[in-house]
Chains A and B, each alone.
Chain A
Amino acid sequence: EAQVTQNPRYLITVTGKKLTVTCSQNMNHEYMSWYRQDPGLGLRQIYYSMNVEVTDKGDVPEGYKVSRKEKRNFPLILESPSPNQTSLYFCASSPTLPPEQYFGPGTRLTVT
Chain B
Amino acid sequence: KNQVEQSPQSLIILEGKNCTLQCNYTVSPFSNLRWYKQDTGRGPVSLTIMTFSENTKSNGRYTATLDADTKQSSLHITASQLSDSASYICVVSGGSNYQLIWGAGTKLIIKP
| Interface positions of A (Cβ within 8 A of B) | 4, 40-45, 90, 92, 97-101, 103-106, 108
Contact of B43 among A92, A97, A99, A100 (CB under 8 A): A92
Contacting residues, chain B, for A106 (C-beta < 8 A): 41-43
- Determine the distance from Cα of A45 to Cα of B102 in the docked complex, in whole angstroms: 9
Contact of A103 with B102 at beta-carbon distance under 8 Å, contacts A42-B4, A98-B32 already known: no
Interface of A is mostly: loop
Q: Is the CB–CB distance between B100 and A45 below 8 Å?
A: yes
- Determine the distance from Cα of A87 to Cα of B25 in the docked complex, in whole angstroms: 26
Task: Sample 24 A-B pairs with CB under 8 A, ordered by A number.
Answer: A4-B43, A40-B104, A41-B104, A42-B4, A42-B102, A42-B103, A42-B105, A43-B44, A43-B89, A43-B102, A45-B100, A90-B43, A90-B44, A92-B43, A98-B32, A98-B93, A98-B98, A98-B100, A101-B46, A103-B45, A104-B43, A105-B42, A105-B43, A106-B43
